[in-house]
A = this chain, B = another copy of it.
């Protein structure tokens, strides 16, 4: 069954390009479309067919993956002029791997159903490195049967143990929101405590070492803590995109009627990071905002 799938891939950015290359490596016939020419050429050289529009991708593919920055981009690619919905085959599975609003996801899922297709939301975690190595975590919302059909495709881009069905349509995006909130809270307090240690005359590297041995241990303290110690904020995952994600988190929490006072402060600090010209830095550079406030 899987061998007969033709996969369409729309959006060959920092994440999408290596993900699409991993699909080719795994042997899937691939049709691609992207606004930027460079990555399209790379994929063509690697063996992908090139389509002139999302509609054309959809006409050729049984499974269509989208990986674009934000909700309006997904809306345009799926429901816009020359969009996927204009060419989509009956029975196709659409997999939106972008990180977007769960509300928009659910609306587009209903529209897809109207065209005889199934939309899964399948945002990822793991960054550019995870995309390149094919070790992404993939949080899937939507029809479980459709997920089983496309699981071999997702397994080619992610860690098969971390391709997880979270729940119905939108649940993948809700999970991604939760992921970004968890990381943000940890990142902000690691930044705060490193500012405090430094200003108190205590070696923040020693503090990190001690904390990693106990209940305070986290991947953020381990990986981003190291970046913060070295003040190395080369992306990685850009703060501008993280700011978008925290915006979705705030909007989602508000629409669900859930007060999130700590995440709200984190979102404001991420906003301060972007406002002060650090949108292109890695999001671990959030520490700069706290360090600047404390003159560390």
Q: Is the CB of A178 within 8 A of B197?
A: yes
Assign chain A's interface to a size class.
35 or more
The segment from A63-71, A92-100, A147-155, A203-211 found at the interface with B is: A203-211
Q: Tell me whether chain A's interface is mostly helix, strand or loop, or mixed.
A: helix
Cα of A170 to Cα of B200 in the assembled complex, Å: 9
Interface string of A147-181 (1 = CB under 8 A from B): 00000000000010110111110110011011101
Contacts of A279 in B (CB 8 A): none
**Partner of A218 from B102, B192, B218 at Cβ < 8 Å:** B218
Q: Is the CB of B256 within 8 A of A200?
A: yes
Q: Is the CB of B206 within 8 A of A166?
A: yes
Q: Is the CB of A189 within 8 A of B262?
A: yes
Contacts of A269 in B (CB 8 A): 261-262
Given the interface contacts A193-B181, A223-B215, A261-B265, does A199 sit within 8 Å of B256 by beta carbon?
yes
Chain B residue nearest in CB terms to A127? B215
Chain B residue nearest in CB terms to A180? B216
Looking at the assembled complex, report how far the CB atom of A9 sits from the nearest CB atom of chain B, in whole angstroms: 23
A residues with CB within 8 A of B? 102, 125-127, 137, 139, 159, 161-162, 164-168, 170-171, 174-175, 177-179, 181-186, 188-190, 192-197, 199-203, 206-207, 209-211, 213-221, 223, 252-253, 256-263, 265-266, 268-269, 290, 293-296
Given the interface contacts A207-B166, A210-B166, A265-B261, does A174 sit within 8 Å of B189 by beta carbon?
no
Contacts of A211 in B (CB 8 A): 175, 178-179, 182
Given the interface contacts A186-B185, A257-B199, A265-B261, does A162 sit within 8 Å of B213 by beta carbon?
yes
**Partner of A183 from B209, B216, B262 at Cβ < 8 Å:** B216
Q: Is the CB of A210 within 8 A of B179?
A: yes
Q: Is the CB of A203 within 8 A of B260?
A: no
Supply 24 A–B pairs (Cβ within 8 Å), ascending by A: A125-B215, A137-B214, A162-B213, A165-B206, A166-B207, A167-B203, A171-B202, A174-B207, A175-B210, A175-B211, A179-B211, A182-B221, A185-B185, A189-B262, A189-B263, A192-B253, A192-B258, A192-B260, A192-B263, A214-B219, A215-B223, A217-B218, A218-B218, A218-B220
Contacts of A197 in B (CB 8 A): 174-175, 178
